[in-house]
Structure 1
Amino acid sequence: MGPSQSRKERRAKKKRNKRIEKEFAQDNEVLNKEIKILVLGTGDSGKSTFVKQMQILYKEGFNESEKELYRNAIRENIKNHVKELLRIANRLGLTLQKTNLYNSEEFMRLLKEKTTEEITEKIKNCVIKLWNDQALKTAFKKRSQFQLPDTANYFLNKTEAIFRSDYEPNEVDILGCRIPTTGIKQITFGLNDYIWKIVDVGGQRSERRKWIHQFDDVHLFIYVCAISEYDQQLFEDDSVNRMLESLKLFKKTANNEHFKEKDCAILFNKMDLFTEKILEVDLRVCFMEYDGGKDLENATQFIKNKFLKSSKSKKREIYCHYTCATDTENVKFVFESIQSSVSQKLMEKSGKL
């Protein structure tokens, strides 16, 4: 056994260890930092779908209780889709086949009944027959004039499977399921030495007053705009254009006292639908000053410039991305770009770069 350390040497060693620990803690302060990202946007923009993708990509997907929740919600979605399609058909003066006049009445009656296996089976049969009626197919094509989700046909085409007792929703089903966000929802996960907190708040007008309580300690906010909805009206107010509402809300948020120096990522979502629609519906239905014709590049650039010009701050970075929130690989690519930008900014502030 070697000679024991002197008291002085022990104190020096202890002091040196403390210094090393302090330096280590300082070096890891940024690496272990929690990064808070707020996901904002109007109702039906796709922001909650984006957050679901975070759970698929960086968590372990959805557990059994969550799948059960979505199973029930998807069935309710289907019922609501048929109700809305029947309303649209009536508004447009479309006539159901004679046999489906009874099915329509039976369907509406069954919705008022207490849910049982027998009632569920009868509802399923009515839905299948009604969805095969040409009047409802025509009504679906007119959906942009009414309040019908773009995913309605996807679920209606799967009615037989969805109403089976052993049905378990897959990721595509869950991503397409419509459950309006109420209150505040968040997920937290580790990625590249950071703790990421993604906060989703309701986009309906009645929910926006809750946003202010989430403004503190935000590193970046993601604003989701459904770029394809330039010819559609709000669910809450059918006299207001969805695109104009989204632009107005972005301007108000971006120039808010709490956010004016925060970086922002704008996700122009539903690009797949926009790419198809712009060939048929001129952007002038929303912006009378637009003169770029039914051209994808012209229309996309025009909308992008509208959003960029509405931000008054010269101190923020605005990252623009074109997305399809139901496409997992697309969302992964976009979020990797966002997290890389945020991480680099934090490293620069810490003097690591």
Structure 2
Amino acid sequence: MADFLPSRSVLSVCFPGCVLTSGEAEQQRKSKEIDKCLSREKTYVKRLVKILLLGAGESGKSTFLKQMRIIHGQDFDQRAREEFRPTIYSNVIKGMRVLVDAREKLHIPWGDNENQLHGDKLMAFDTRAPLAAQGMVETRVFLQYLPAIRALWADSGIQNAYDRRREFQLVKLLKMKTGMPLT
């Protein structure tokens, strides 16, 4: 009687779930799960848009990406904002140094001659310090320069230099005219 029964290999082809051992069934379940995951990833990758941004330094590549992120509703969380703070502080100091230097090279007089001391203090900032060289300035260091930055930004000579910024390269500078707080 046993001769007319199909072999195990034939049964496993016709009824794969019935003849599998528990280990084989688990492997098959995992395989199906992996296949589903790969299928989802394939759909995701097909919809994914990749772009290559080329450009010289300070040409706005990072700014463009940040703006796209905001436009498409992925605003920055508090942790991301905290991570950007040292870079923003560095950019403000660098930008103000450029303005102080440009004011002098363009022979623009100070609005208030006492701001020469603030300008000298800012120009003495050590840009070769370990963090500053990486484009990062700690809050405590920035706060030491904040009164000088505020006084300089209020100076008509610096404002005149800023209005002539097309005549020199000004790095990413916070829009201090908007009244955005610096701390």
Q: What TM-score do the two structures reach when normalised by structure 1? A: 0.34
**Aligned pairs, number:** 148
Structure 1 residues not aligned, in runs of 5+: 1-5, 164-353
Q: Does the 8 A contact of 1:100 with 1:133 survive in 2?
A: yes
- Alignment partner of 1:40 is 2:53: yes
Question: Could you tell me how far 1:74 is from its partner in structure 2?
Answer: 0.8
Shift of the 60–120 alpha-carbon distance from structure 1 to 2, 3 Å rule, reads closer
3-state DSSP of counterpart to 1:41: coil
2:43 is equivalent to residue 31 of structure 1: yes
Which structure has the larger Rg over C-alpha atoms? 2
Q: Which of 108, 113, 122 in structure 2 is aligned with 1:98?
A: 113
* TM-score between both structures, scaled by the size of structure 2: 0.60
Asked if structure 2 preserves the Cα contact closer than 8 Å seen for 1:78 and 1:156, the reply is no
Matches within 5 A, 1:250-289: none
| SS of 2:166 mapped into structure 1 | helix
Describe the SS at the equivalent of 1:98.
coil
**Structure 1 match to 2:82:** 68
Opposite residue 103 of structure 1, the aligned amino acid is H
**Matched-pair contact (CA < 8 Å) for 2:92–2:174:** no
The partner residue of 2:94 within 68, 77, 80 is 80
CA 1:116–1:63: 2 relative to 1, 3 Å? closer
Secondary structure at 1:40's aligned position in 2? coil
In structure 2, what is the Cα distance between the partners aligned to 1:126 and 1:154?
17
Consecutive unaligned residues in structure 2, runs of 5 or more:
1-5, 18-27, 130-137
Aligned pairs (5 A) from 1:1-353: 8-14=10-16, 30-33=42-45, 35=48, 37-42=50-55, 43-53=57-67, 57=72, 61-62=76-77, 64=79, 66-96=80-110, 97-109=112-124, 111-112=125-126, 117=140, 120-149=142-171, 152=173, 154-155=175-176, 158=179, 161-163=181-183
Tell whether the 8 Å contact from 1:78 to 1:155 is kept in structure 2 after alignment. Answer: no
Q: Report the aligned-residue RMSD.
A: 3.9
- % identity of equivalent residues: 21
Report if the CA contact (8 A) 2:53-2:61 is conserved. Answer: yes
Which structure has greater strand proportion? 1
For 2:45, the aligned partner's letter is K
Matched letter for residue 11 of structure 1: V
